[in-house]
Structure 1
Amino acid sequence: MNKHGNCGEQNCVDVGVTAHVGECNNVITPPILTPAGTRIVRLPVTLQELTVRSSLVANIHFPEPVLEIKDIKKRVKIIQCRLLLPGVPQGSDPFALPATPVNLFIKGFVRKNIQYATPSSNSTADCVSSELRSLTVDVPFECVTTITSFLTPPQRPFFNTRSEFDFFRAQELGHGFPEKDELLSSDLSQFHQESRQFYNQLPYCELIDSHIVEWDEAIDRRPLPNHKPFEEGTFQNIVEKMFLEFTVKILQNQQVRITAG
């Protein structure tokens, strides 16, 4: 309750008065362990770590004249990281590496927050007054890279199977055929099938780090009007060239045999 001991128009809990902030005591609690012996557990296993490099070019338009760029904050975001593994039939070794390299498809974008100064209307011939603004844009990228070796073999997916079967049936031929003759075949009015589906573990990625080198250049810079400082100017369009480098870890949930002590 609050310091008055009731709930009126004010909050029932006045954390600024009654909440205690200080040192709390603790006691170590022994963990509950699995019995000793060999166990099979499902764990994320690292298949490979890759440093991927790509180059980007983008045209960026500002909604207002830009006097100068103050800062650019960047963040790489991956929205798709898909390892394409060929399947194997049931009964085959799923950890046998493919005969050919496998491809990793990566898709994402670089989020850029551009802080810039735009001139205000009260600038004079001696000085330029400006306001700080920001523009956030996404520069997309998409690429495919080839993986030729793995730290741990991936578990390849098993093929789903579907098999049809029929039953023999003898049918009368009807009018115009000898009575002793019959149609020997299967019954087209029936359909029989056996199917099996495998729910395989899909490899996934984690983003470890990124490195960006960029070069931005204005392509429409013009001097300020009304004889304002001659060396000053504004622009609204830039061309950006970017070298992008990032590291991804490829993982897959696999069953691993461990020994519990």
Structure 2
Amino acid sequence: MNKDKNCVEVDVSATIGQCESVDIDPQTTPGDSNNEVVMRVPVTIAERRVNTSLVANIKFPHPVLEIKDIKKSIQIVQCRLLLPGISPEAAAADGFFQNLDLKLFLKGFVRKNITYATPCPHSKGDSCISSEIKSLTAKIPFECVTTIPAGEFTSPPQLPLFNSRNEFDFFRAQDLGPGYPEKEKFLSSDISQFHQVSNQYYNNYTFCELLASNIIEWDEAIDRTPLSGNAPFQEGTFQEVVEKMFLTFDIKVLQHQQVRVAVIPPQ
């Protein structure tokens, strides 16, 4: 009797033949009387090309005979458009969308993976050097703030509403107690009670997408020394470099907003 209850091997497809498909009509939203719908979608607020410069010292854990390759990429860890708040009254009068000069805060790293050759111990000769290939990964931080002028927004951002808290009290008349005429009263609010109305608004923050980047760098060893002993002429090693980088990267700034979109009425 076969105790194996799995009569089909699920890891292998039962068929790898050609599948057939036909076009079907998609189900669409009919829209309102004007054939429009309101959608909450990411809206492009701005697209910016950012330039910044970096200077850093990189120290290697082993003597470096020669750098073989450097792979690098930009990593953005924070990209935030700093929006000023607005009161509900001001939003009702002037609107949520206003043309203002705004600051864009950026923070990130340049990730570098450096492949290099390091001499093997006791491997030097008159005309050759044996070496091992090693790598070092380093992250060079950068942080900057750039201004987006009011006239350069693709679409204005929606300003966040202020939260509000308002207190109110009730009048209370109390007896003054011994030493005061009976007809006199202490007239004030009741400090033993607290009353408040608070409003919270859950606004949509801005976020970014990284579109492209360009890095121009210059690395220079600052502690290179010739190889000692019986080694080829002009060969040497170093363990520290100073690098200068010029970064250029393109970013897209977005915010979830509600927009009206025309729809195609069903046929």
- TM-score, normalised with respect to structure 2: 0.89
Amino acid at match of 1:212: I
SS at match of 1:129: strand
Provide the C-alpha distance between the structure 1 equivalents of 2:3 and 2:11, rounded to a whole number of angstroms. 11
Distance 2:11 2:204 in 1: 51
Q: In 2 relative to 1, CA 87–63 (structure 1 residues): closer, same or farther, beyond 3 Å?
A: same
The residue matched to 1:33 in structure 2 has which SS? coil
Which amino acid letter does the alignment assign opposite residue 116 of structure 2?
Answer: Y
CA RMSD of aligned residues (A): 1.8
Task: Determine the structure 1 residue equivalent to 2:24.
Answer: 29
Task: Deviation per CA, 1:171-227: give whole Å up to 9, x if none.
Answer: 000011111000111000000000100000001100000000000000011111113
Q: Following the alignment from structure 1 to structure 2, what is the Cα–Cα distance between the partners of residues 255 and 13?
A: 46
Q: Which amino acid aligns with 2:246?
A: F
Number of residue-to-residue matches in the alignment: 251
1:64-88 deviations in whole A, cap 9, x for unaligned? 0101001100010000001111011
Q: With structure 1 as the length reference, what TM-score do the two structures score?
A: 0.91
Partner secondary structure for residue 42 of structure 1:
strand
Contact 1:49 1:249 in 2 (8 A): yes
Q: Distance in 1 between matches of 2:82 and 2:30?
A: 39
Q: Match of 1:125?
A: 126
Structure 1 residue 188 and structure 2 residue 186: aligned?
A: no
TM superposition shift of 1:96: 1.8
Distance 2:116 2:4 in 1: 50
Residue 250 (structure 1) aligns with: 253
Q: How does 1:1-261 map to 2 (within 5 A)?
A: 7=4, 15=12, 20-36=15-31, 37-91=35-89, 92=91, 93-98=95-100, 101-121=101-121, 122-149=123-150, 150-261=153-264
Residues 52-75 of structure 1: CA deviation (Å, up to 9, x unaligned): 000000100000010100110001
- Counterpart contact for 1:165–1:193, Cα < 8 Å: yes
% same residue: 57
Unaligned stretches of 5+ residues in structure 2: none
Describe the shift of the 1:33–1:218 C-alpha distance in structure 2 as closer, same or farther (beyond 3 A): same
**How far did 1:12 drift?**
5.0
Q: Is the 8 A contact 1:59 1:238 kept in 2?
A: yes
Q: Deviations over 1:7-39 (max 9, x none)?
A: 59xx95564xx6644543222232111114111
Equivalent position amino acid for 1:168 in 2 = F
**Contact 1:213-1:244 within 8 A present in 2 as well:** yes
Q: Distance in 2 between matches of 1:59 and 1:176?
A: 81
| Amino acid corresponding to residue 60 of structure 1 in structure 2 | I
